[in-house]
Amino acid sequence: MKLRLATTALAAALGAGLMAHADPPHARPGDLPPGLAKQGKIPPGHAKKMWKKGEYLPVDYRTGHYFEDWRRYDLEPAPPGYRWVVVDQDAYLMEVTTGLVANAIIDLLD
């Protein structure tokens, strides 16, 4: 009986952990919350935000903002699996699959 209870508790804990790491409802590339998608706007709170190393770029910035002119600004080349992206005047070295910021250069394009 104790083994069955422990197994059930472990399964519930693992399931809750997996759900905590699931993507939010609008996490697919190009998806925006209803209303904003129709207006073509960036979600509130993202427009002027600066991300730091270790944070994640929102899905909206992971595609279509690639920065190929990194040599002109004396940036290091992106290693395999990473890309430079530009948001406003800032450059971010981002892991392509997760959006994890590995480096941030604020006001690079000023």
Q: Summarize pLDDT for 65-107 with one digit per residue, the tens.
A: 888 888 888 889 999 999 999 888 889 999 999 999 999 998 8
pLDDT of residue 5: 56
Q: Summarize pLDDT for 18-56 with one digit per residue, the tens.
A: 454 555 555 554 555 555 544 445 555 555 578 999 999
Q: How far apart are CA 85 and CA 63, in angstroms?
A: 8
CB neighbour class for 92 (10 Å; exposed up to 12, middle 13-18, buried from 19): buried
| Predicted TM-score (pTM) of this structure | 0.55
pLDDT of residue 61: 85
The number of residues making up the chain comes to: 110
Q: How far apart are CA 56 and CA 34, in angstroms?
A: 22
Please state the CATH superfamily assignment of the domain spanning residues 2-105 in this structure: inner membrane protein cigr (3.10.450.160)
Spans of all domains in the chain: 2-105
